[in-house]
Amino acid sequence: MLRRAASDTPFQKVVYEDRLREVAGVPAWLLTVAAALLPAVTAASLTAVRHSRRPPSAPPSPPR
């Protein structure tokens, strides 16, 4: 239910200004995500390379 205000004061318009934070022209959120993912990608890459360079294991010897 709408009611009349106690006083007839003028309303004040609110203007919001949103600014994207940038570092050297790159959005800061993108740098943050990249910095968080970089160690995980590096670890996964190193693990894959080490695993691919491992010599094949010898087949099990036949029972006597």
Q: What is the DSSP string of 2-46?
A: ----SS-PPP----------EETTEEHHHHHHHHHHHHHHHHHHH
Q: What is the model's pLDDT at position 44?
A: 95
**pLDDT averaged per 10 residues in sequence order, the chain, 64 residues:** 77 88 93 94 93 77 78
Which pLDDT value is given to residue 42?
96
The per-residue pLDDT for 21 is 92
